Amino acid sequence: MIRGILRAFIVTVVSIVLVAGAFGGGYVASRAVFPPAPPPDGGAPASWKPYFPAFWEAWNYVKQDFYKTPVDQNEMVYGAISGMVDALGDPHTLFTEAKVAAITSTELQGSFEGIGATVEMNQGRLTIVSPVKGSPAEQAGLLPNDVILQVDNTVIQNMDVNQAVALIRGPKGTTVTLTIQRANVAPFKVSIVRDTIRTPFVESRMIPNTTIAYLRLNDFGATAPDEMRAALTSLMAQHPTGLIFDLRRDPGGYLNVAVDVASEFLKSGQTVLIEKDKFGHVQEFKASGGGLATDIPMVLLVDGGSASASEIVSGALKDYKRATLIGTKTYGKGSVQNVNTLSDNSELRVTIAHFFSPLGHEINDVGVSPDITVTITDADVAKNNDPQFDAAVQFLQKK
């Protein structure tokens, strides 16, 4: 598990929310139910009309003169939208094609259809970080560090990680053939029947030979609050003297889930985050009360892969001195996105606000610093050591 820590961090930064877009925390409700009414005249407000002639002139020149045929007009539209969004200079405002957008949606619901393997794009090579336990990928014998060279007949070297994952995903019961490269072994093919993969958001256990409970949250997905509450109920029934809450490599999820998660550790009415929009409007989100772990001595583990919703919780627990943060500085995504589902099921995520810690500390591009800095070195990874976890155990044993 620890060998994957540094690799998983790269996955998080490059592919962001499990291979599907920007760091996910801070998503608010989609406008799919109540989309804004389109403006008159084909969607172009009168004030914009001076800007569109050049666009249509360029469009028509491409259609008329480009030497390759046929021209894929859908790809041209997608490229135009992507270029428009890129021009804003905000890495978290982005356009996602429908197939890739579906991956994000299913991930945050706790299940998806595919082979069940965590992957990263490492120097242009799609590399398996780890197969999900009991998944078709594990049953087929795939191992960490295996490189996927080809999906069916498509070579995926240097491909965008989202596009590569979209090729591997597919309906339950269908077969995908992967060409695998393993160290010192000639490339070989593996055919895998896809299945429904359920990915629990929460892991929990009592640490052997201690009275310390361990709780990990992998994503702030839709079912995370219920899973968290069930895990905490079981852990607290065992009367632990301390709690380690692990948010390392957690890329985020839904804003309301972040508030629910923080509410398990904070007193009713305490501020979880402060949100500020472009007009200067301020909204405070408060803990709902009824938390199961509001008093137990607590360590929060964070690192550079802890982003967005993870930083909402980290900032709140630090400001209220509710937990001692151990690890390294978090990623630094302190923005909220509105998820807009377009007519073809593609998605446009638009940054609508920034969020701040309860004491008003900036998080975007800054991150949340730990109270105790503990790094994981290459030597630790090679030996499968986790000095951050060890430091948390030692800290709580001294309480």
Contact 313, 263 (CB under 8 A): no
* CA nearest to 251, candidates 306, 323, 315: 306
| Catalytic residue check, 333 | yes
Phi, psi of 128 (to 5 degrees): -80, 120
228/257 Cα distance (integer angstroms): 11
**Which residue in the list 204, 333, 346, 380 is annotated as catalytic?**
333
Phi/psi of residue 168, nearest 5 degrees: -75, -35
Is 15 known to be catalytic?
no
Burial of 362 by CB count in 10 Å (0-12 exposed, 13-18 middle, 19+ buried)? middle
Nearest to 131 by CA among 147, 119, 148, 149: 119
Rounded distance between C-alpha atoms, residue 355 and residue 39, angstroms: 30
Task: Verify whether residue 319 is a known catalytic residue.
Answer: yes
Instruction: Check 146, 219, 319, 380 and give the catalytic one.
Output: 319
Half-sphere exposure of 153 (CA within 13 A, CB side): 0
**Length of the chain as a residue count:** 399
Catalytically annotated residue among 130, 306, 308, 335: 308
Cα gap 282→355, rounded to integer Å:
9
Which residues are tagged catalytic?
Answer: 308, 319, 333
